[in-house]
Amino acid sequence: MRLTGLAVILVGWSASVLSAQQPVLPSAPQTLTLEDAVDLALRFNRQYRQIANDRSAAAWGVRNAYSELFLPSFSVGVGFGYQGAGSQAFLGEDFSLGSSTMGSDYSLGLNWQLSGTTLTQPGLARAQRRATEAQIEGATVNLRSTVQQQYLAALQAEAQVEITQAQVTRNEEFLRLAQARFQVGQATMLDVRQAEVAKGEADVSLLQARQAVIVEKLRLFQQMGVPAPEDPTVVSLPDTFPVTEPTWNLSELLRAADEGNPDVAVLEARAAAARSNEKAAKAQWLPSLNFSAGWSGYTREYTNADFPVSVARDGRNGTIAQCDLLNSDLLNPGLTPYPCPSPLSDAEVEDIIAGNNVFPFNFTSQPFSARVSLSLPIFTQFGREARIAQAGQQADDAMEQVEDQRLLVRTNVSQAYYGLVAAYQAVGIQATSRVAAQEQLRLATERYRVGSGTFFELLDAQVAAQRAEADYINATYAYHRSIASLEAAVGRPLR
């Protein structure tokens, strides 16, 4: 019963641990804002969680470094053994044991070491923890940017659906207009068939646009790490992003990127850790102080309790016989006899049996031992020098990577900034073109309605309006993506 209860407890505990490590995924929300999407991604995106999981190990690394510096290590050992009866050869001699034995032992060990390595480990561990925190912060910024880009892609796909739906509506109206003109003899069957073809193409474009929305929303849920609903279109994306003129100053953006870009911060933290590692390598020139202490004990019990009694009895009888020989007239004529021991009494036999009953925990303690030593390595076949040189080379390389990343970040910020300015100007141009195309379509529709224009002119105007509308949407979301790219390059939100 006890084993069954323990098994139930262990199973419950392991299940609770697994549930703590694997959070329950939420159901798909009906309305998903950008901040909600980012929050879900920070909680459930698997790649980000792998990076965030490094925080605990880095914190324990710092604790371990300080404990090695100030606290001794402590170990406990317990052993059990059995040896059968029989003879055993050792150095050409045979030793026989008339009874099998059972034995146990324990040991307690205390050890503390002070060296250049232990002195420099706390600084190295703190630097590594800062590098881990910087890496997690960088992953947070990158994940936020990725989710934002995908959110914008889903919104752009929905906007394309609205444009295509408007095109379908217009083509339905054009088809009715062509049929009405054909019935009164003002148009040919060719116009009707062309209107039917245009409507069919618009229907297909609408299907493709709706499919694109599903795909983009599926990718959004994938970035969040949350299963998407069976029909992703039921999830609405309510956020809107206005188009405003960029007012940021490039110099200020570059300065902000130099101070807070997470990729630069990661490399700076790694460079600091590399310098700490170089100091730790140089600390190998220092002597090492080691202190150790130990406590131990053992038991040895014969499985045949009569064996130690017979050994003791034979020894006592031999002593008595030897004493009688010394008191004989041959060796001790007329002198005071030596006192001889008496045969084993029942009380002594009971003591021997009781003294044999020691397995497994009636230990015989061994003397306490302690040792202090000081060592100074003089010559290590240049291994120490090689490790110091390698650590220095890694630190120098880390600093070069920092400067290279700084240059890359400045390039990315400048490129993103100029791209944003161009994207904003493109939005203005496309807005003007969209208004002109809509006016052209209105005029072509009226001309065809009154019979002064052809259906080909109407179709051309519709294609131009459709293209202008799509170009405006693409320019608008290219502007929003440019802002997201600029925020990613700088390393923080800008709006």
CATH 2.20.200 fits 73-114+288-304+358-375, yes or no: yes
Instruction: Identify the pLDDT of residue 78.
Output: 94
pLDDT digits (tens, 9 = 90+) for 96-147: 777 889 999 999 999 999 888 888 888 888 888 988 998 898 899 889 999 9
pLDDT of 23: 57
Among the listed residues 235, 224, 262, 216, the one whose alpha carbon sits nearest the alpha carbon of residue 38: 224
CATH H-level superfamily of 29-71+116-287+382-495: Outer membrane efflux proteins (OEP) (1.20.1600.10)
Size of the chain in residues = 495
pLDDT of residue 19: 42
pLDDT at 429: 94
Kindly give the parts of the chain with pLDDT less than 50: 1-20
Report domain extents, the chain: 29-71+116-287+382-495, 73-114+288-304+358-375, 306-356
- Please give the span between the terminal C-alpha atoms of the chain, in angstroms, as a whole number: 64
What was the pLDDT predicted at 4?
39
Percent of the chain at pLDDT > 90 equals 41
Identical fold between 29-71+116-287+382-495 and 73-114+288-304+358-375: no
Q: Report pLDDT digits (tens) over 5-37.
A: 433 333 444 444 444 455 555 666 788 999 999
- CB of 375 closer than 8 Å to CB of 290: yes
Residue found by looking up tokens 């294609």 in the block: 463
Measured CA to CA, the distance from residue 434 to residue 380 in angstroms comes to: 78
What is the pTM for the complete model shown? Answer: 0.74
